Amino acid sequence: MRKISFVVPGILLPLVLFLTASCCFHKSNAGGQNGSGAFVTGHYRNLFAENGHSQTEIDAKVNEAFQQLFHGDPKTQAVFYYSGSNSNGALAYITDIKHHDVRTEGLSYGMMIAVQMNKKAEFDALWNWSKTYLYHDSPAHPSYVFFSWQAKTNGVTMSEFVAPDGESYYVMALYFAANRWGSDKGIYNYKEQADELLTNMLHRAIIKGQISSLRRNTNSVQTVSAGPLFDAQHKMVLFSPSTERPPFTDPSYHLPAFYELWARWGPAADKDFWMEAATNSRDFFQRAANPTTGLTPDYANFDGTPATNGWTKSPSVFRFDAFRTAGNWSVDWSWWAKDPRERKLSDKLQSFFESKGMDTYGCQFTLVGKQLDDRHAQGLVAVNADASLAATNPRSKEFVEALWNTPTPDGLERYYEGLLYMMALLHCSGEFQIWSPQ
């Protein structure tokens, strides 16, 4: 059953905002185990409405963006494509237009968007494609019971490695689907599929074997050992479960808002782990974010320092993965309101981007704020608006309005930019919600 959303009359809005801001002074985890956010209150802020836009305008903007990205012109607008069918029904993928591939990141984001928009046909087709082409069912394979993170649009695998952000969004989307639509049979038994994947993310045994990847059209094979997608000692998500390099994490993979739900809806034996993982991720955000700019690196060690393990030549850099981190801590505040420090992070981050020019800031920076790329990326504009869910400074309204005035991404960059944009529209309209069990 969906949490109840409350519409705040405009005349009462200043009082509501004052009371909301006042509550930020409570200690972390105030309000008990369930916090005091939307999970408890059922209220999801509609930041567009707070900026004066009508509900009719907001609904139209959200629906038009979905229509363009999922069913628009296939050459210039869409990222979603149907690709035949099998015994489980229709198949569809979401493709990175620029790189001509399909990624678990995009497939799982697409499923999350679909369940929030009540688009069951698109959801099922994306899940069917994922299970058909990317799922590993061989017990001898290091990626057993997980998904290859990258493939061609015809389903041919490009990399058999696992990217845990995809699995995380798959699990959350499946739980929401089970709670919104009910579970069916086989791969559409959403609850069963989510429980199995979540259990394996935490407990799958280490398997040593060969993993292949396609590099410059040449098949490369590596022998690796790989196990769970979370580090048991630090209770944090891994960038990769494979042992081709020392373990590290990705700040944008940390999703404490999801972990709280997994603790409640997933296998009961793992409740304590997920509750602790949520707390650890909140603490990690504080260590990973620059204390002045609020920027986080793409890759980090478990102590929050930038990863220096050879994966990236410039570890102290905010790049494309890192776009998402502020959205993760801000949604966590919106849903749970357990850690007021997240509000300070959003204020720091938005202060930094405001200083770079609201209409002109670039998309890649050193963590101390030196700009490395002048492109004003629509996806970053989108996530910076998400940060307003937690921000306290009045400038946050400017970031919401910047998203409102940004057109739906099209052309070469429309995959990543478009998916972040679509999810931000849902977050900022109060329509990206928790779907609880009936």
Least confident of 209-223, 279-293, 362-376: 209-223
Average pLDDT, the chain: 92
Mean pLDDT of 6-24: 39
Q: Distance (Å, rounded) from C-alpha 43 to C-alpha 431?
A: 10
**Predicted TM-score of the model (pTM):** 0.92
Task: Answer yes or no: is pLDDT of 7 > 50.
Answer: no
Catalytic residue selected from 101, 167, 260, 321: 321
Task: Answer yes or no: is pLDDT of 5 > 90.
Answer: no
104: Cβ contacts below 8 Å, ≥ 6 apart: 130, 134, 147, 148, 149, 150, 163, 165, 166, 167, 170
What's the confidence (pLDDT) of residue 218? 72
Least confident of 9-13, 137-141, 144-148, 294-298: 9-13
- Is 105 catalytic? The answer is yes
Mean pLDDT of 366-394: 98
What's the confidence (pLDDT) of residue 312? 66
Least confident of 97-111, 150-164, 307-321: 307-321
What's the confidence (pLDDT) of residue 350? 98
What's the confidence (pLDDT) of residue 372? 97
Least confident of 204-213, 214-223, 281-290, 299-308: 214-223
Least confident of 213-222, 272-281, 371-380: 213-222
* pLDDT tens digits, 77-108: 999 999 999 999 999 999 999 999 999 999 99
Where residue 313 falls among pLDDT bands split at 50, 70, 90?
Answer: low
Where residue 198 falls among pLDDT bands split at 50, 70, 90?
Answer: very high
What's the confidence (pLDDT) of residue 32? 83
Mean pLDDT of 140-166: 97
Biggest CA–CA distance in the chain, Å, is: 64
What's the confidence (pLDDT) of residue 271? 98
What's the confidence (pLDDT) of residue 220? 87
Catalytic residue selected from 50, 96, 101, 105: 105
The pLDDT > 70 percentage for the chain reads 91
* pLDDT tens digits, 396-438: 999 999 999 999 999 999 999 999 999 999 999 999 999 999 8
* pLDDT tens digits, 247-284: 999 999 999 999 999 999 999 999 999 999 999 999 99
Least confident of 22-26, 46-50, 327-331: 22-26
Mean pLDDT of 235-256: 93
Where residue 308 falls among pLDDT bands split at 50, 70, 90?
Answer: confident
- Is 196 catalytic? The answer is no
Mean pLDDT of 387-398: 98
Mean pLDDT of 188-210: 98
370 vs 216, residue with greater confidence: 370
What's the confidence (pLDDT) of residue 31? 56
Q: Distance (Å, rounded) from C-alpha 175 to C-alpha 123?
A: 12
CA 39 and chain centroid, separation: 18
- Domains, the chain, ordered by start: 1-55+248-438 (1.50.10.10), 79-245 (1.50.10.10)
Mean pLDDT of 360-367: 97
Mean pLDDT of 340-363: 98
Task: Answer yes or no: is pLDDT of 222 > 60.
Answer: yes
Where residue 161 falls among pLDDT bands split at 50, 70, 90?
Answer: very high
What's the confidence (pLDDT) of residue 27? 38
